[in-house]
Amino acid sequence: MSAQQESLKNTNEIYKKISKFVPDVEWKIHQPLIEKINKLKKEKNAIILAHNYQTPEIYHGVADIAADSLALAIEASKTSADKIIMCGVHFMAETAKLMSPNKKVFIPDMKAGCSLSSSITGEDVRLLKKKYPGVPVVSYVNTSADVKAETDVCCTSANAVKVVESLKVDKVIFLPDQYLADYVSKNTKVKIISWKGTCIVHEQFNAKEIEDIKKQNPGIKVIAHPECPPEVINVSDFTGSTSGMINYVKEKQPKKVMLVTECSMSDNVEADNPNVSFIKPCNLCPYMKKIDLKKILDCLENETNEILLDDKIIESARKSVLRMTQIGR
C-alpha cells in the first residue's frame, strides 16, 4: 500500500467515526487538510494538542493528544517533539509553554481568548494580596501566565477542593470563577474569598432549561460542569470536571445523557460512546471556534503565532502549576 493510499484509508476511518457530526460536503474540504497536517507534523517533529471543546475534525482528525488543558500541557512535556501546536485558547498555550519552556509552542489564532481568563490580571491579584495579606492565592488553571505568576498554587475543577484543603489554612483567595468558587465553598469548611469571573459557555445555562429537558426525557442523566451557576448544579445528576464528565459517560454508559457544557465536547464524547444517546441543548465557545484546520496548517507550515513569555514569568508561574501537580487530582 502506497503512502497516499495509507493516508486515504486513515482519513476514511476518521470520517466513519465523525460522519454524524460533519456533513459530507464539509468533509470534502476537511479531508485534504487533515492529510497535509498529519504528514507535515511528522516532518517537523511537532505534536498537536486539542482541547475537548475543539470540533470533531480537529479532535479526532489531527490531534495527537486530546484532553483538558492541564492534561494536554503535562502530556506534551513528556514527548520528544520539538514543537507544540495548541488547539485551544491562549491561556492553554501559555500553560503548555510553562510546562515545556524549552519547546516552541504555537497557537493557530492569537485571538482565541477566554472570557474567564480575561476577567482578571496579575495586577488585580497583587491588589487582592495587599487587601488580604498572608492569605494564600489559589487560581484556576484557566488563567493567564501573569496571574499564575502571582499565585501560590493552581487548581483544576477536578482537584479544586483538594488543593484548597491541602493548604491547611482557614481562608484562601480563590480565582477567578465565581461559580467554581461557590462549588468549592459548599464542599469545604475553608472560607473562600472569590472573584466575579465567569465562563461565557457555562454561565448561560439555567435551571428551568435543565428541568424541562428532564421532563421531556425521563431517565436522562444530566451532567454539569462546576463552572455552571449553582441552580444548574442543584438540578443535575452529577457535577464534575471535563475529564470527570467524560469518565462518567464512559464508565456508566447511561442510555440517555446531557452534558451541560460546550457543544463540540458533546459531539466528541458521543463519537467515542456510540451506544449512548445525547441530548444537546449546548452552548458554543466563540473563542474555541476560532481554531480551524486551515489555521492549524498555516501554523505548521509557517510557524506563526509562537507563544513567548518572559523568563521570570515562566519561573514564577511554573511553580504554581507544579505545586498543583504534586498535590494531584
Give the helix/strand (H/E) hosting 278.
strand 277-278
Query: Quick check: 86 and 287 in contact, CB under 8 A?
Result: no
Given a cut of 50, the residues of the chain with pLDDT beneath it are none
CA distance 146 to 125: 9
pLDDT at 270: 96
pLDDT at 104: 97
pLDDT at 5: 56
CA distance 239 to 203: 15
Q: Measured between alpha carbons, how far is residue 217 from residues 46, 180, 213, 305 in Å?
A: 44, 28, 6, 45
What phi and psi, each to the nearest 5 degrees, are found at residue 10? Answer: -65, -45
Residue-wise pLDDT tens digits, 52-66: 999 999 999 999 999
User: In the chain, what are the domain boundaries?
Assistant: 3-115+288-302, 119-198, 202-278
Whether 119-198 and 202-278 share one fold: the answer is: yes
Indicate the DSSP class of residue 169. -
pLDDT at 2: 55
Query: Quick check: 146 and 313 in contact, CB under 8 A?
Result: yes
CA distance 269 to 150: 35
Name the grid cell of 173. 483567595
Residue-wise pLDDT tens digits, 209-245: 999 999 999 999 999 999 999 999 999 999 999 999 9
Indicate the DSSP class of residue 176. S
CATH of 202-278, one of 3.40.50.10800, 3.10.580.10, 3.30.70.3270, 3.30.1330.10: 3.40.50.10800
CA distance 267 to 129: 41
pLDDT at 283: 87
Name residue 27's amino acid.
W
User: Which fold would CATH assign to domain 119-198?
Assistant: Rossmann fold (3.40.50)
Name the grid cell of 270. 458521543
Greatest Cα pair distance in the chain: 67
pLDDT at 75: 87
Q: What is the CATH number of domain 3-115+288-302?
A: 3.40.50.10800
The residues near 104 (Cβ < 8 Å, ≥ 6 apart) are: 82, 83, 84, 303, 306
Residue-wise pLDDT tens digits, 173-216: 999 999 999 999 999 999 999 999 999 999 999 999 999 999 99
